[in-house]
Chains A and B, each alone.
Chain A
């Protein structure tokens, strides 16, 4: 450390004072009063100077210290926020536990505004401040007694016992479903949360629309959900009607005894089922006329009614409050007669959400086949599903126009169980979907090559 001028002067003057004091003592021994007075005056003079210098140095040091801290100030004159995180009261507690062992401080929580814990010394100091020094008491009490007092004081309020965290109970609908309902093994279409959300939608009457390629399990999913919720199940296919109005509303009947009368449709009965029917509207995109969709609009939206004819005084069928709709749709290029997309207004009716299903992953598809065709061997199930995956990859690469569905895999597995060879069963099930056309690079040839590449 380099000494400042003031420090050097202080050192010099201190030495001079020391020297003068020595001379003054000598003068006293010689009884030389005059010399003693002179040295004493000089000492006093030097001491005054020394005090001035010391004050000067102190002021300078304080100033320097202030300037040093000013370096850290930002442009606005304040101190920038430190990147080091402030220790929390719990961190302090951990420190205490580390130093003094965990037992004394465990189970206690430091209140942020509280002082540090009492110990024997601090209690004795506080006692002295409050009541003055009491020698007799302090002699009588040992350090351990003061320590006990500290413990008592700590327990009395300086420290509060840690409150047990209040239990969080998830009593929401999805929470209850998750806690109580197991995902059935047949449900392999999506993750568990999708399963619980679908159940929640059924409970809240938020209708569901499921889209995906043919044979991927859309209808099976609907049947599973209906079965789990134990609702009366009714299925209406939009592709199998020549008379949409008769399918949904009903038709006139005649016999010679009763004459002509109106017979309401199965759909009308399902709407009025007091147990809250689970109505599956299957393949809604196959209705090319659009009539079915139009008739169903007021049924699916907030109006929740079905008018049986178009007259002013038409009979109105009110829906039971627990009726639930589950619709499926094929959307894609390979579906003859199917629209490429659904009407926006139609989609809006399905407030429970539109779920896009795809074919199952190979492993899950294999499990499903083994589950639904229990006598198929594991190896056959694996080979069938691997072949399906290969064809689906070609479909995705747009080399084929049709993919292999899970339904086709199941049909193949059933044929194998009944005694057909695997490759023959595949040819039997799959090839009719690929047209016979001339050429060496047709879709059919590609599929045959894929089958043959499987070996025996």
Chain B
């Protein structure tokens, strides 16, 4: 009986991270390069570390690869590898992570002020 294999998650930063890990970079430095390419990302060295373990477990990456590039190389390589769909998915991640979307900005205003504050201010202006 064939074992059912679930598809594994593939996120917008995985391609870039894999490339740098293949060049022996440490997860912390890989995360820095990803943060350089995706400034609003919340990916940290721990995320990259977990991804690295997954790659090793899946035999898609070998352990203890010697480092062959420096940070400057990493920055330029990451810029080069990001595809249009990765960039689009990143935009969507940032967009959907906003606590309140642009179209509901009034909600932020309402949350910031007490409900009566607006009315009092408005009434004071009328009386004055």
Contacts and interface: CB of A to CB of B under 8 A. Distances in A.
B76 interface: no
Interface string B1-38: 10101111111101000000000000000000000000
A176 interface: yes
B65 interface: no
B46 interface: no
Interface string A141-167: 000000000000000000000001111
Given A167-B60, A417-B115, A179 B102 contact: no
B110 to A, nearest CB: 6
B103 A181 contact: no
Contact of B9 (A164, A170, A228): A170
Contact-residue size bin, chain B (C-beta under 8 Å from the other chain): 35 or more
A179 B96 contact: no
B95 interface: yes
A179 B97 CA distance: 14
A180 B89 contact: yes
Contacts of A2: none
A167 to B, nearest CB: 4
A175 B8 CA distance: 9
A230 B94 contact: yes
Contacts of B104: 186, 371-372
A228 B7 contact: no
A167 B97 CA distance: 29
A183 interface: yes
Given A186-B101, A227-B102, A179 B10 contact: yes
Contacts of A372: 104, 107
A199 B95 CA distance: 12
30 contacts: A91-B1, A165-B5, A167-B8, A167-B60, A168-B5, A169-B7, A169-B10, A170-B7, A176-B85, A179-B11, A180-B90, A180-B93, A181-B89, A184-B101, A186-B104, A203-B88, A223-B103, A224-B101, A226-B103, A227-B95, A227-B98, A227-B101, A228-B91, A229-B88, A229-B91, A229-B92, A230-B94, A233-B102, A374-B111, A375-B110
